[in-house]
Structure 1
Amino acid sequence: MATDRHSEAFLEMMAAERNAAGNTLSAYQADLDDFAAFAAARGEAAHQANPATLSAYMASLAGAGLAARTQARRLSSLRQFHLFLLREGVRADNPAESLEMPKLPQTLPKFLTEAEVDALLAAAAERAGTPGLRARAGLEILYATGLRISEMLSLPAASLSSDAAMLMIRGKGGRERIVPLSDVAKREAACLRAASPKGARFLFVGRDITQPMTRQGFALLLKQVALAAGIDPARLSPHVLRHSFASHLLARGADLRSLQKLLGHADIATTQIYTHVLAERLQKLVETHHPLSDAFK
């Protein structure tokens, strides 16, 4: 279904004013197109849909068995879209505002143990050629900085080439943050850069030297390294490495506020998914140092 002019205007606003990433814009468009098709079947245009149509749409998602997180994302897209229409004077209300957000299950972030990360790094060190260079640089950078995969793959070719101990990252919503760099990450980045074709624009260059490596391509490389390390590939993804970075920092004494800044979370509530690590650390602290520690075991 072709995207209508109101949806196009909304997506242009998200790109220009919110610095929304390409994947985010694609998700918004898919959500709006799906709703537009539903509204059209009821004889309404998406930008003119009444509250009953939006309620029926959300009910249809639940009836179709879509995951609560998918339903929540669709509703979030509709709220943003109708708020845009309201501010632009296209309509006088936001019919999505009163809809209740689906209850999301509380899930703990998946992460690897420190020993498993060591095994991954050792397996990557055994890989030869360009795949090995990419695997080593990618693992060192992701685990040392906690970058999102989109942030790492968009690093320019000259990134990590200076003696600077910090790296400036522009993350979600155009928010900038500074992350520390390890000497090993800088060394592996230098090795990867030295093997890159002349004229490459990105550190992790794709088949087209003007484009970065794809997320899917890097994820596949990670799966191959996981197999070599004796780790179930289903347990490993770039985001699992980000979770591992955060969980291991907390386990070794970092505080939530510092972690929030390193991860680039706009709201500390997002960072609080890692409080299970803090709880475990406090429990071990009490068991180890309390005068009646035996009573806690």
Structure 2
Amino acid sequence: MHLETTTNKHGRPFQRKTINAYVNAGKALSAWMTQAGVERPFTACDVQLLNRFFRWWYETKDVPKSQDGNGGYTGGVNTTQRNLRALFLYMAEEYDHLNPYLDPKFHRYAAPQLGKPKTLSEEFVNDCLEITGNGSPKVRDFQTVRDHAMIRVLTEGLRSDELLNLRVQDLDLPGHTLVVVPLKGDRNSTDGRVIPLQPKTVKALTRYLRVRTDHVLGNPENPNASPLLWLGTRSRRPLRYMALYRMVKKRAAEAGYDPTEVSPHSFCHTWADDLLTAGISGENVMAVRGWKSPAMLRRYGADMASQRAVNAVHSLGDRY
């Protein structure tokens, strides 16, 4: 309740996903305390007890993700420490509890060093597009047309949350653009990021909108029609992340690739490499992607940075 009635450091409401992460971290601490025989409220947590908890977490749960595609760690202790900070800030404010995070003996765990993200090959993307009909007007199956359009939009560099939160009204197909409603720090802004679309993406979205009207939630005459762009099949609800995740894995396998090597986020790194390889300036890439720090540009372009540098030098030909 506290998080739902307060704002974050930017003065904006907390996202539901953030609230859930903070609550789950508190539940994990409570479960560990019970297991450790500490049958007292959170006010019993001093720096020694928290250090024991985080050491336990590090030794039992801080393991690499196997099929995430984003790098990172499942249950990372650094993330858990950040998520629990809100609890102890609240306790210090409401109960005058000494915040263990301010104690010089508090053991802080650094974020894991992430490896280079993998860039998808041109062959992989083309094969996935082909397996979903390759944009043929003869393909009218809802799921195939939808999946093709989604893969096309993924190649435009959208994050999973951004893609799944697209509304029909966010599309400007005559202008070959769509607008991404801000989801994080700027999500209360009236302005979204304008995403330029490839001509084939516009065609794929046009065909998807056509078959979408046959869906119960896409029928404009249905008073309960969903404003969200992507609709599910079995559940007859707007698409959720796991459906997107499974779709990407399924289409990769059908195209003859190892599905563990790809995730929806893989397309973001591939998009960055595509634009940088084409000579688009880093400033423009950052503007389209909504990055405020060049560190993100370096990370997303890291996988193929050496190859781009070699190609750039070769393009100069003989210099002497």
Shorter-chain TM band: 0.7 to 0.9
More helix by share: 1
Deviation of 1:204 (Å): 0.6
1:195 aligns with 211
1:85-126 Cα offsets, whole Å, 9 max, x none, are 44x454365423553223513311122012221221122126
**2:296 corresponds to 1:270:** yes
Identity %: 20
Residue type of the partner of 1:9? Answer: H
Residues 13 and 188 of structure 1: CA distance in aligned 2, closer, same or farther (over 3 Å): farther
**2:41 corresponds to 1:45:** yes
> Take 2:292 and 2:33, find their aligned partners in 1: how far apart are those partners?
33
> Take 1:39 and 1:115, find their aligned partners in 2: how far apart are those partners?
51
Residue type of the partner of 1:182? Answer: Q
Alignment of 1:1-297 (within 5 A): 8-10=1-3, 12-13=5-6, 18-40=12-34, 41-46=37-42, 49-67=45-63, 69=73, 70-86=76-92, 88-91=93-96, 93-96=98-101, 98-125=106-133, 129-144=141-156, 146-169=157-180, 170-175=182-187, 176-196=192-212, 197=215, 198=219, 199-206=225-232, 211-276=237-302, 277-287=304-314, 289=316
Number of matched pairs = 283
SS of structure 1 residue aligned to 2:100: coil
SS of structure 1 residue aligned to 2:193: strand
Let me know the Cα RMSD of the aligned residues.
Answer: 3.0
| Structure 1 alignment gaps of length 5 or more | 1-7
TM-score (norm 2): 0.76
> Take 2:120 and 2:254, find their aligned partners in 1: how far apart are those partners?
15
TM-score (norm 1): 0.81
**Higher mean displacement: 263-272 or 211-220:** 263-272
Residues 103 and 181 of structure 1: CA distance in aligned 2, closer, same or farther (over 3 Å): closer
Residue type of the partner of 1:283? Answer: V
Kept after mapping to 2: 8 A contact 1:154/1:212: no
| Structure 2 alignment gaps of length 5 or more | 65-72, 220-224
Residue type of the partner of 1:239? Answer: H
Deviation of 1:221 (Å): 2.0
1:53-112 Cα offsets, whole Å, 9 max, x none, are 2211111112215237311110111224334544x4543654235532235133111220
Residue type of the partner of 2:101? Answer: A
Residue type of the partner of 1:159? Answer: D
**Higher mean displacement: 146-155 or 256-265:** 256-265
> Take 2:228 and 2:98, find their aligned partners in 1: how far apart are those partners?
44
> Take 1:161 and 1:256, find their aligned partners in 2: how far apart are those partners?
25
Residue type of the partner of 1:177? Answer: R
Residues 44 and 138 of structure 1: CA distance in aligned 2, closer, same or farther (over 3 Å): same
SS of structure 2 residue aligned to 1:168: strand
Deviation of 1:230 (Å): 1.9
Kept after mapping to 2: 8 A contact 1:171/1:264: no
1:162-204 Cα offsets, whole Å, 9 max, x none, are 5234332222234443222233223222222222221232211
**Higher mean displacement: 162-171 or 105-114:** 162-171
Residues 112 and 275 of structure 1: CA distance in aligned 2, closer, same or farther (over 3 Å): closer
Deviation of 1:275 (Å): 4.4
